[in-house]
A = this chain, B = another copy of it.
Amino acid sequence: MKILRVDMSQNQIREETVPAAYERLGGRALIAKILLEEVPPTCDALGPHNKLIFAPGLLAGSGVTTAGRLSIGGKSPLTRGAKEANAGGTAGDVLGKLGFKAVVVEGQPSKGDFYILYIDGDEAEILPADDLVGLGTYETSDQLQEKYGSDSTVISIGQAGEGCMGGAGICVTGEGGQRSNYAARGGLGAVMGSKGLKAVVIDKPVGKAVPLADAEKFRTAARTFAQKLINDPKLGTKGSQHLYGTASIVAAVNEIGSLPTRNFSAGNFEGMEKLRGEHLREVTLSRGGEAGTRCMPGCVIACRNVYVDESGKPIVGTLQYETIALLGSNLGLGSLDEVALLNRMCNDFGLDTIETGAALGVAIEAGLADFGDFASIRGLLEQVGKGTVLGRLIGNGAVATGRVLGVRRVPAAVGQGMPGYDPRSLKGNGVTYATSPQGADHTAGNAFGARKEVNPLGVEGQKELSLKLQIIAAMLDSTGLCLFARPPIIAEPQLMVDLVNGRYGWDWTVEDYNRFNRDVLRTELEFNRRAGLTAADYRIPEFMREEPLPPHAATFDIPDSDLDSVFEAL
């Protein structure tokens, strides 16, 4: 395997054999290690010393179901710490098949020019992107696929990333003209913009396959893994995840009183019925849209959808839970059509819907629009594409928006806007938001699925739960696996060990695998420590610790001592 080093200061590319220290790492684990080894932790996240790292997971390209997620990372302009966000689409798979352990983008052009990185098999080059500057991700992907082939993979940023806005994510295309896969969180689109990189285009590798050291062991494990997912009552073809997508949890999050509503001022939303996954499926199918589609080739869960308007024309694919919570109930909007339109705008500008939804909620609280008033909210969001000062403010996310507009009720932790679970009534997620080296992420250690095991309103057991989930998340993000694929691995860790050993011929034991997963967190925490983050940065905002959240009048009351000791057991 190899690493591609792309130097945007010198306009040079070189291929590197994988150093020993990186050999057994992939995805998020590799990103954390490269950051710690190579990036000055206190550097300007948008300056030349940061690196933007594309790293497929350990199992990328091998055909294991759900294992094609592409991890993208760097020092985050929002959290100031280590960041990894991952996306579906075809990028993880093709980079894996091409034998790339990572593509590391370094430096920064001296002028504000933009470029494309074009990868064709073993060749790579940096090309001018003048004609793409200012375009959204849809048009960028369309133009590039028209030029390089509809089966090529395009990784791109929109206006938000070009403008180095902290809420910018990175878009990855999927099979068959599919769009809307985002490595959304932490402002990595701004890092890509700061590198002058408008897009990466990867030609479809023909006839390439990853070598399997022990094909039989690998294939047995891969089959078992896929079968277990298919047999899982939630994930299989009759499961809610497949039928209703991630939106299947809208009603359940609302039921526990944790659905962000009007800038996190309530945990129930009166318009919830029209936002839930069941309604989403009904509307989608009745209009000729699609449900149960895939973000990655070969995924057996297939939780995506293509949401269409009344005439059957696609608005966005896919409409997901976090987006529905942050751009829906959090803004007082109870219409999927409205949420989908805002979602499409975010996708096009290349904005994280979570960060942007949180920022819009804060802006509405400051009086710049009205909760529930689609037209005024759309008007705000349009500003991002126009690059106005107001647009740049929203595009920079919740914390910047709150600071400039003088709003104290900012739902964020470690500088990053919170996803769709109010931590006051889902305290396990609060512990994760307040301790994860990744900040407030929905995938860093999400306790929602464990709400029946650990009382979401109680203090007891939350820190242990969060740590357990954070370790699992680190593993998934490092192998390229989807978060939803975790049940079989949790039930039988040997399955993952067999997959990895079968793929690489290593002699990992379950203990090695456990250490590997924990090391991801340790490495990230150490980078963050060196970057200057302290307990003070990892806290739930004051208002959530003091303002009771209806309907349970819950505050975030996990003691600081619990938060400070989460990683003692690491």
A interface residue numbers (CB < 8 A to B):
41-44, 46-47, 49, 80, 163-166, 368, 389-390, 392-393, 396, 400, 403-406, 408, 530-532, 534-537, 539, 541-543
B166, A403: Cβ atoms closer than 8 Å:
yes
Q: Report the minimum CB–CB distance from A261 to chain B (whole Å).
A: 22
* Chain B residue, CB-CB nearest to A389: B390
Residues from chain B with a CB closer than 8 A to the CB of A536 are 41-42, 80, 530-532
Q: Please, how many angstroms separate the alpha-carbon atoms of A244 and B106 in the complex?
A: 51
The answer to whether residues A532 and B537 also contact, given A46-B408, A393-B393, A406-B163 and a CB cut-off of 8 A, is yes
* Chain B residue, CB-CB nearest to A49: B542
B389, A396: Cβ atoms closer than 8 Å:
no
B408, A389: Cβ atoms closer than 8 Å:
no
A404, B393: Cβ atoms closer than 8 Å:
yes
Q: Report the minimum CB–CB distance from A501 to chain B (whole Å).
A: 40
Residues from chain B with a CB closer than 8 A to the CB of A44 are 408, 541-543
A-B contact pairs, 22 of them (CB 8 A): A42-B535, A42-B539, A43-B542, A44-B408, A44-B541, A47-B543, A163-B406, A164-B406, A165-B406, A166-B403, A389-B389, A389-B390, A389-B405, A392-B405, A392-B406, A393-B393, A396-B403, A396-B404, A400-B404, A532-B534, A532-B535, A532-B537
Residues from chain B with a CB closer than 8 A to the CB of A532 are 534-537
Binding site secondary structure of chain A: loop
Q: Please, how many angstroms separate the alpha-carbon atoms of A400 and B396 in the complex?
A: 10
* Chain B residue, CB-CB nearest to A539: B42
One of B46, B389, B408 near A47 (C-beta < 8 A): B408
Residues from chain B with a CB closer than 8 A to the CB of A535 are 42, 532
Residues from chain B with a CB closer than 8 A to the CB of A43 are 542
Q: Report the minimum CB–CB distance from A452 to chain B (whole Å).
A: 34
Q: Report the minimum CB–CB distance from A40 to chain B (whole Å).
A: 9
